[in-house]
Structure 1
Amino acid sequence: MALARLSLNHLHAFAAASRHLNFTRAADELCVTQAAVSHQIKALEAQIGQRLFLRTARGLQLSDEGARLAPLVQQAFALLDKAVQLLDERAPPERLTVAVVGTYAQGWLLERLPQFQAEHPHIELRLQTHNNKLDLATETIDAAIRFGDGAWRSTHAVPLQAAPLTPLCAPALAATLARAADLRRCTLLRSYRAEDWPAWSRAAGIEPLAARGPQFDSSVLMVQAALLGSGVALAPAAMFRRELAEGRLVQPFGVAVDVGRYWLTRPLGREPSSALRAFEGWLQASLAPADAQPPALS
C-alpha cells in the first residue's frame, strides 16, 4: 500500500502506542484523548487490513504484523523529529529514560554522570531505580541496566561489567573470621537469589552455607546492613570500592564467584534512539579494561 494513502496522524498514533504499549500514555504524549488514539489505530488497521495490536491478560501487545511495522515507523518519526530540530536551535534536548538497578547506580554510574552530561549536553537523561525485577515490554523506559546472565526473553542485552560476588562485612566481624568455614556461625545476609551463597561455598571449597539471615531486594541495603554489623553480605566488591578503600567495609576472603554481570538492555526489535546509542557508547568507553572483560567461569 502506498504511503500517500495512509494518514500521518494514524501512523504517528501507532508509533507512540507501539512504543508505550498503552493508548493512554500514547495519548498523553500526543496531547489527544485516549479515544482519539484508539480511533486512529482502528482506522490504520482498516486501511492496511491487518491487526496491529492484541489485548492480552498482560495488557496491550503488538501483533506479529505490528511488531514488524513498529521499529520502522518509530525510526521514521524519530528522523522527522531530528530533521525539524536541525532548523530550531531552541529545540528541547533529547530525552532518554533508563532504569538502573540501585547497586550499579550508586556503585558506578552516579559519580560519572557529570562526564556524560558534559559530553552529551543535548541529552536529558532520566534515571529510575529498580530491584532487578522489571518487564521491559510494559515499562515506559528506553532501556534498563540490570544484573543477571543476559538471557532475558525478547531482550537485546549488551554486556557491561563483571560483578563477582564475595563476602563483605564490618571490620570487627571480619577480625573473627580466619577461614571460610567460620561463616557458619555468622548471620549471612541474602538476596532473593537463593543460589548465591551455595555457589560461593563451592568456589571456596566448603560445604554449602545456609543463608538464614534477613533477605534484601537490593545489594545496597544488604551491604548497609553489613556495615552496621548485622551480618555478612554477599555482594559485588567492585560496586563498593569506596567503602572498602575507607576501611568501613572489609572483604575477609579473596574468593569470589561469578553468577552474573551488569547489562544494558532494551526490548528486542525496538530500534534504539540516537540518545540510547550515545549512552551505550559512552558506557562502554568508560569501562576500565578489567571491567570490559567477559566474566570468568567459576
Structure 2
Amino acid sequence: MQLPLNALRMFDAAARHLSLTRAAEELHVTQAAVSQHIRNLEERLGKPLFRRLPRGLALTDEGHALWPAVSQSFERIALSLQQLAEPRPREILTVGVVGTFAIGWLIPRLSEFQQLHPYIDLRLLTNNNRVDLAGEGLDAAVRFGDGSWHGTRADMLLRAPLSPMCTPALAQRLRHPGDLASQTLLRSYRAQEWEGWFAAAGQPAPLARGAMFDSSLTLAEAAAQGAGIALLPTRLFEHMLNQGRLVRPFAQEVNTGAYWLTHLKSRQASSALQTFRHWLLAQLQHEGASANSLPAEALDQDSA
C-alpha cells in the first residue's frame, strides 16, 4: 500500500504532541491541513489512528502500532540526509579499552576528543584486559601489561603503580604496613601483585585469602564497600579518593606494568587511529602522566 509522505509526516507530529495545534505549529501549516491529512490517511487505512478528546488526541491501538515504524523511518531519513550534508564522511574507529582505563582516564576526557574530531565515530568496547584484536574486529586496544604482545605495535600511555586502598574506617586500624597481614587482602587475577607490594615495603608477604576479581573496577567497589583492602592503580582511582570512598593508608607503591595503546602490525593504521593515537599521547604528555618521551614527529608517524 502506498501512503502519502505528507500525511505520514502529519501523523508523526500529531502522535508526538497528541495535539493538532502543536503539530501544525511544528510543521508550519494550519491545524485544518493537519486534520485533513490525518483524516485522509485514516480513510486509506480503513482504521482510526486517533481518538479525538476535548483537550487533545489519544492514539488508538492501530495508531500505537503504526507510530513507531513511522517515527523511526523519519529519524533514519534525517540521519542519512545529515550524513550526506557533511563535508567529509565519518570514520568509524573501534577501540577495545580495559575498563579501569576507560573509567579512570578516558571517559572524563572523551568530550574533548569528540569536539576536536567530530568526524571520528569512536566506538568503545570495554574489557577485563583480555582482548583479541583480530577476532573482535578492533582497530586498536588499550590494555595493561609490559607492552609485549606478539605481532602488535604498542605505545606506552601511562604507568600505573599500585597502592593499597580501603575505606576510611578500615584505614584507622592501620599504622604500619605489617598491619595488613591481619586484614582481608582482595586479589586480582595477577597473583603476584601483593607479594611485589610487600617486598617494596620491606615486609614479608602474608597469604592473601580475600576474594579474587577479574576487574579492578569491581575490586575497587568491593574495597569501597568494606570487603577488604585492594591493591589499585592510584592514578586511575583518583575519583574515588576525591569522593572519600577510598583512602590510601600507606604511600608505598609498586610498579607492575603500564597501560598501552596497541594495534596489529599486519594492519595499516587508519587516519582515524593515527588521530586517536596522537591525541592520547599528546594529552598524556601534557598532563605529565606518560612515561614516554616521544618526540613530536614520532606522534605523526604511521604506527604500522
Q: Which amino acid aligns with 1:142?
A: D
Equivalence for 2:204 = 207
1:108 aligns with 2:118: no
Q: Which amino acid aligns with 2:158?
A: Q
Q: Quick check: which has more Rg, 1 or 2?
A: 2
After TM superposition, the structure 1 = structure 2 runs for residues 79-158 of structure 1, keeping only pairs within 5 Å, are: 89=86, 92-158=89-155
Q: 1:233 aligns with which of 219, 224, 230?
A: 230
Q: Which amino acid aligns with 2:194?
A: W
What SS does the corresponding residue of 2:272 show, helix, strand or coil? helix
1:290 aligns with 2:288: yes
Equivalence for 2:270 = 273
Q: Which amino acid aligns with 1:203?
A: A
What SS does the corresponding residue of 2:247 show, helix, strand or coil? coil
TM-score, L = length of structure 1: 0.68
Equivalence for 1:195 = 192
Equivalence for 2:174 = 177
Q: Measure the CA separation in 1 of the matches of 2:287 and 2:225.
A: 33
Equivalence for 2:217 = 220
Equivalence for 1:53 = none
Question: Per-residue deviation at 1:92?
Answer: 3.7
Q: Measure the CA separation in 2 of the matches of 1:200 and 1:228.
A: 22
Q: 1:163 aligns with which of 160, 163, 166?
A: 160
Q: Which amino acid aligns with 1:117?
A: Q
Question: Per-residue deviation at 1:292?
Answer: 1.4
Question: Per-residue deviation at 1:209?
Answer: 2.9
Contact between 2:97 and 2:127, CA under 8 Å: does it hold in 1?
Answer: yes
Equivalence for 1:264 = 261
Q: Measure the CA separation in 1 of the matches of 2:225 and 2:234.
A: 17
Equivalence for 2:70 = none
What SS does the corresponding residue of 1:291 show, helix, strand or coil? coil
- Residues 59-115 of structure 1: per-residue CA shift (max 9 Å, x gap): xxxxxxxxxxxxxxxxxxxxxxxxxxxx98465410000000000000000010000
Q: Runs ≥4 in structure 1, deviation > 2 angstroms?
A: 87-92
Q: Measure the CA separation in 2 of the matches of 1:89 and 1:239.
A: 37
Question: Per-residue deviation at 1:289?
Answer: 4.4
Contact between 1:98 and 1:142, CA under 8 Å: does it hold in 2?
Answer: yes
Q: Which amino acid aligns with 2:190?
A: R
Unaligned runs of 5+ in 2: 1-83, 294-304
1:248 aligns with 2:245: yes
After TM superposition, the structure 1 = structure 2 runs for residues 52-91 of structure 1, keeping only pairs within 5 Å, are: 89=86
Contact between 1:159 and 1:262, CA under 8 Å: does it hold in 2?
Answer: yes
TM-score, L = length of structure 2: 0.66
Question: Per-residue deviation at 1:243?
Answer: 1.3
Question: Per-residue deviation at 1:294?
Answer: 5.2
Q: Which amino acid aligns with 1:292?
A: S
Unaligned runs of 5+ in 1: 1-86
Contact between 2:95 and 2:140, CA under 8 Å: does it hold in 1?
Answer: yes
**What value does the CA root-mean-square deviation take over the aligned residues?**
1.7
Contact between 1:162 and 1:294, CA under 8 Å: does it hold in 2?
Answer: no
Contact between 2:92 and 2:122, CA under 8 Å: does it hold in 1?
Answer: yes
